[in-house]
Structure formats: structure tokens, C-alpha cells
């Protein structure tokens, strides 16, 4: 939801002792709020237990943009959402996965509570907003002026405005109507066109399909930052799905001197022979193929990140280069290059650290 995320940039998040004493937020409601910005409109949030719907309406604009409406149904337990335009013919549906804040209006209260607890926002009186009595807080947080109207009865931010010091305030939360009656069950029914639409696989699901193991047992090596702790890394190329060792010749080159903050990045060059054998040059890149033992290569105490090249020799195909971040899950941590197609290494692969499970232990031979 866009409104809480805008406030997130301005407020340090936490839970205020002031609001902890209140009962948990309701899980059945209908809340209508005005959307901020020049493209006026409204968003209605319907919730019934573990299901929620956001109904966003934008009216026609003076520039000729027609009115449009977008519905999103959230399954809060499964972490899956479906979005569609009910006026479209035929209806086109998209699906996605989510975690954390899905757009719950009560999340705004959580976002403001830390500033209240710290004293950045102080009570300045009571006002009635859209017929709802609210306690008003105001102050400066994260360098911005912030004013919020909180319904003390149910702990909901009814209105919030932000602005730069000395500048005008802009309304970011503007709730117009609240009902705690359970919304009709029909609101939480997917159109037939959405029934067969599923979200794309998550990163963990992709890793599970690639390794035949739990995705939770692996970490992608190309994502940083690197571990602060030091360790040794054992590299092993394996086939996707089976994790069987790649029993063919391969080369490895490494540059442990690479500096992401250097004003001029190194220029690497890769030569390719007729049989697919590569040569490596540029920066601190140098070949360490002669250190391969029993199909594996051990790197002791690598830096937090380094450039690594693996070339599984194939005629007509040369080496590539990957920035690898050090991740240490044991004194000796396994790093697998999972080759998508062992018969055609040119299709590439993924660098995965094993942090747990049967592939985490380094082979003893």
C-alpha cells in the first residue's frame, strides 16, 4: 500500500507503549480513504479474517484519462494476491506473492508509534475528523514536519500530513469512513479468469527445483553483503536437479583484489581456444585451475567479495565472470556452481552456498 510506505521514509518504525495497551487491531472492517496526489481517487479496504480486498477507484481526469478501477484480493495466510480490472472484457488477472504489510490501514499506527514513544511527536489536542474524535500529535521526525490524528478508540490513524520545514503540509492519510461490520463474503470471490493464475515461483522455490533440496538450505552467492566472519570455501560444479558432480574439464580464475569503490573498474579479457579453453587477464584476475583436487577447489580465507570465473570447457564457448560474496555457514562452506544443462554448459548456471542440509558438509576425500 502506498500510503504507509511513504510514511515509512519519514518515521522510524517500532511499537509504542502508548498503543501496546490497546486491544489488537480488528480483523473485520471496511475502511474508505482518499488517495493522496493530483490523481484523485479513493481506496476501500475490506477485511474478513485472513482475507482482504483493496478496491482502488480513480475518476476520469481533465486530460482525457478515463476512470479506472483495480481490485486486489489478498490471501493473508498464503501470502498470495490476485489483481484485476473488473470492467475489462475479458478480465485479465495477475498474481503475486507478498509478505509483511499488504496495505492494512492499521499499519500506519505502528509506523507512527516509535516517534510518539521517543517524544518526537507530542500530543497537541483533540479534533474531530470526518465525524471521528481523534487525538492530534505533531512534531519533527527524520527532518520532516509530521502531524497525525489518531482515533483513540481503535488506534487507527485517521489523518496524517507531512512537509519539509517551512514548507506546506501534504496530506498522506485521509480516512473518510469506517465500518466494523463484516464485509459480504461475495467480495472475496475471485473471478473465474483468476482461478488458474498463480504467482511466479519464489526464489526459494526456484532453488528447490534446481537442487532437488529445500530452498531454505541455500543462499545465492551473488547477493551481498558478504559475511563478516572469515572461512574457507570449497567450490564444486554440479548438475541441476541431481546435484551430481560435473565430470568434465573446467577452469577457474579469481580476482581477490577487485574493489567495488574504485573509480575505474578493471578491464578483463578472456581468450578462447578452438577447444573452448580460456585465458584470463586484467585486474588481479589469475587462473587457479591447478589447485583443483578431486573435482573441487578450495579457497582459504577469501575477502568479503571477489570476482570468480568458471569455464566448463566446451568448444565454441568461453568463460564468464561473476561477483561472488563470501558467506560463511561453517569453517569450511560449500559453494556450488549449479549447471543448468551439463550437456551444454554454455546455458550457464547459478552460484549457491549450502548453509544447511546434506549438501552443506564438504566431502572428506
> What is d(CA 300, CA 285) in angstroms, rounded to the nearest whole number?
17
2-194 CATH pick, 3.40.50.2000, 2.40.50.180, 2.50.20.10, 3.40.50.2300: 2.50.20.10
Look at residue 267 in the predicted model and tell me its pLDDT: 94
Per residue in 288-315, pLDDT tens?
999 999 999 999 999 999 999 999 999 9
Whether the CB-CB separation of 286 and 253 falls below 8 Å is answered with yes
Which stretches of the chain drop beneath a pLDDT of 70? 1-23, 111, 365
Look at residue 10 in the predicted model and tell me its pLDDT: 34
Q: Where are the domains of the chain?
A: 2-194, 203-354
For the question of whether the overall pTM of this predicted structure is more than 0.85, the answer is no
Look at residue 278 in the predicted model and tell me its pLDDT: 94
Task: Please list the residues that pair with 104 across neighbouring strands.
Answer: none
Look at residue 294 in the predicted model and tell me its pLDDT: 93
Look at residue 152 in the predicted model and tell me its pLDDT: 81
Q: Cβ contacts of residue 145 below 8 Å, gap of 6+?
A: 138, 139, 162, 163, 164, 165, 169
Per residue in 179-222, pLDDT tens?
999 999 999 999 999 989 999 998 899 999 999 999 999 999 99
Amino acid at each position: 500500500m502506498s500510503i504507509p510506505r511513504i510514511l515509512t521514509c519519514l518515521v522510524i518504525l517500532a511499537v509504542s507503549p502508548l498503543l501496546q495497551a490497546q486491544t489488537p487491531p480488528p480483523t473485520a472492517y471496511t475502511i474508505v480513504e482518499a488517495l493522496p496526489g493530483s490523481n484523485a481517487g479513493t481506496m476501500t479496504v475490506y477485511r474478513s479474517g485472513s482475507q482482504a480486498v483493496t478496491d482502488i477507484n480513480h475518476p476520469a481526469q481533465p486530460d482525457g484519462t478515463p476512470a479506472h478501477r483495480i481490485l486486489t484480493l489478498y490471501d493473508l495466510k498464503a501470502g498470495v494476491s490476485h489483481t484485476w480490472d473488473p470492467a475489462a472484457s475479458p478480465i485479465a488477472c495477475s498474481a503475486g506473492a507478498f509478505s509483511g504489510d499488504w496495505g492494512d490501514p492499521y499499519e500506519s499506527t505502528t509506523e507512527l508509534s516509535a516517534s510518539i514513544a521517543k517524544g518526537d511527536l507530542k500530543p497537541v489536542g483533540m479534533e474531530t475528523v470526518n465525524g471521528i474524535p481523534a487525538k492530534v500529535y505533531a512534531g519533527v521526525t527524520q527532518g520532516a514536519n509530521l502531524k497525525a490524528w489518531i482515533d483513540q478508540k481503535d488506534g487507527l490513524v485517521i489523518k496524517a500530513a507531512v512537509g519539509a520545514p517551512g514548507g506546506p503540509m501534504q496530506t498522506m492519510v485521509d480516512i473518510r469512513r469506517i465500518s466494523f461490520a463484516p464485509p459480504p463474503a461475495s467480495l472475496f470471490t475471485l473471478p473465474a479468469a483468476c482461478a488458474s493464475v498463480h504467482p511466479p515461483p519464489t526464489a526459494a522455490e526456484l532453488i528447490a527445483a534446481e537442487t532437488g533440496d529445500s530452498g531454505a538450505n541455500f543462499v545465492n552467492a551473488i547477493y551481498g553483503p558478504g559475511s563478516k566472519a572469515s572461512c574457507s570455501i570449497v567450490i564444486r560444479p554440479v548438475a541441476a536437479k541431481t546435484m551430481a558432480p560435473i565430470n568434465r574439464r573446467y577452469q577457474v580464475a579469481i580476482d581477490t583484489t577487485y574493489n567495488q569503490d574504485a573509480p575505474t573498474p578493471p578491464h578483463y579479457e578472456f581468450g578462447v581456444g578452438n577447444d573452448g579453453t580460456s585465458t584470463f587477464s586484467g585486474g588481479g584476475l589469475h587462473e587457479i585451475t591447478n589447485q583443483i583436487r578431486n573435482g573441487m577447489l578450495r579457497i582459504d580465507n577469501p575477502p568479503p567479495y571477489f570476482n570468480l570465473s568458471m569455464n566448463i570447457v566446451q568448444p565454441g564457448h568461453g568463460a564468464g565472470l561473476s561477483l561472488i560474496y563470501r558467506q560463511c555457514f561453517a569453517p569450511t562452506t560449500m559453494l556450488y556452481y549449479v549447471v543448468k544443462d551439463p550437456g551444454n554448459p554454455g546455458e550457464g548456471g547459478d552460484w549457491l552456498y549450502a548453509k544447511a542440509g546434506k549438501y552443506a558438509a564438504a566431502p572428506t576425500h
